[in-house]
Amino acid sequence: MKKAWAVGVASLLCAGGALAQSNVTLYGVIDTYMGYTNATGKGSVASLDSGGYQASRVGFKGSEDLGGGLRANFQMENGFASDSGAMHDSTRLFNRQSWVGLGNELGELRLGRQNSPGFLMIARLDAFAGATYASFLNNVSAYTPRYDNVIGYLSPVMRGFRVQAYYGLGEQTAPRNGLSTAMLAGEYESGPLYLGVSSSAQNSANDNITIRSTFAGGAYDYGSGKVFLGYYRGNNLGAAASANTPGSYYSAYSLSANYRLTGQATLGAGYGWAKDSTGAGRNARQFSLIGTYDLSRRTMLYATYAHLANNNGASFSLAGAAPITKNAPVSGGTVNGVQVGIRHLF
């Protein structure tokens, strides 16, 4: 009887040790801003919106040490509108991420709904975090931020280099490659220098068209701030995989920089231009300003100004980090925008 009791206690202690090696973290972002836009042919709009600098979200992530250097990881994340409390996608419990995986010193394998490498990279290619009205790269690119049914591999960092490879299953009976997606990214980071390139290719539903998006560029910390160079090329502007409609290729370029006024405050500016490869002249250009102030490690105030001018049939507009209703100008028109917001991390 005493032996059985001792074995039971030992089992409980072992279970407690196993539980101590696993962890779950609740985290989130709440980002709300006041926005004002004035667009040619549409007039002005003042609004309180969610997700200017970062999209508002709440999520769970965790890992468990399985021994021998192997660990199990997971992440579940849902996006919401902080100005109304509504879910960004009422059809999904976790619309932003939902994956589980295994990792060790050779890298990590993830299965499920995951962020695309382009989405992860764009935030590092301009002074506007790849978001806010001020980010030209965000305003003119129509890349897909995340995909379902993805098998992903993330390599370990080796001498500053890291590679990511993803494949998303279209899950169609015919054609079998319809809606499937392949994504690849490479990054290098050492000291003040960051360089990255990512590319994605998604087949249309009938497997006759490939929708492509490519980001490339880098950043350099010169000591008192950073200089950024960003590039985008894609044919998904106006294209829809479900409708099998081809889009025109656009190339977009962005040059921006910021300066750290103090340990809490920064100022940044940038200029971007986009060129329509069809020869129709549906081009665009944008000038932007941004200021940020850290109230704490978790709470930041930000303000931006952007002037975006379209040529001929182009009708690009200003966007935030989250899906919002855009005040899009008439074709060939301009749009000016100002936003002031607060972002809190928890």
Query: Where are the domains positioned within the chain?
Result: 24-345
Exposure letters 308-318 (e unless 16+ CB within 10 A, then b): bbbbeebbbbb
pLDDT at 236: 74
Query: How many angstroms separate the CA atoms of 88 and 91, rounded?
Result: 9
The residue whose two tokens read 């007039």 is: 43
SS3 percent helix, strand, coil of the chain, rounded to 5, is: 10, 55, 35
Residue 82 to residue 277: CA distance in whole angstroms? 38
Q: pLDDT tens digit string along 272-330?
A: 999 999 888 999 999 999 999 999 999 999 999 999 999 998 999 999 898 776 799 99
Q: How far apart are CA 277 and CA 250, in angstroms?
A: 6
| Gap between the Cα atoms of 67 and 90, Å rounded | 39
pLDDT exceeds cutoff 70 at 43: yes
State the average pLDDT over residues 212-225: 97
Q: Please list, in sequence order, all residues whose beta carbon lies within 8 angstroms of the beta carbon of residue 60, skipping any fewer than 6 positions away.
A: 24, 25, 26, 27, 74, 75, 76, 77
Say which range, 17-31, 88-102, 155-169, 322-336, has the weakest mean pLDDT: 17-31
Q: Is pLDDT above 50 for 5?
A: no
Q: Residue type for 218, please?
A: G
SS3 283: coil
pLDDT at 246: 78
Mean pLDDT of 190-208: 93
Provide the whole-model pTM: 0.89
Give the CA angle between residues 181, 172, 145 to the nearest 5°: 30
Q: Label residue 15 by pLDDT band (50, 70, 90).
A: very low
* Separation between Cα atoms, residue 319 and residue 307, nearest integer Å: 12
Q: Is the pLDDT of residue 2 over 60?
A: no
How many angstroms separate the CA atoms of 299 and 313, rounded? 40
Coil, helix or strand at residue 142:
coil
Q: What is the predicted pLDDT for the residue at 21?
A: 63
Question: 24-345 — its CATH code?
Answer: 2.40.160.10
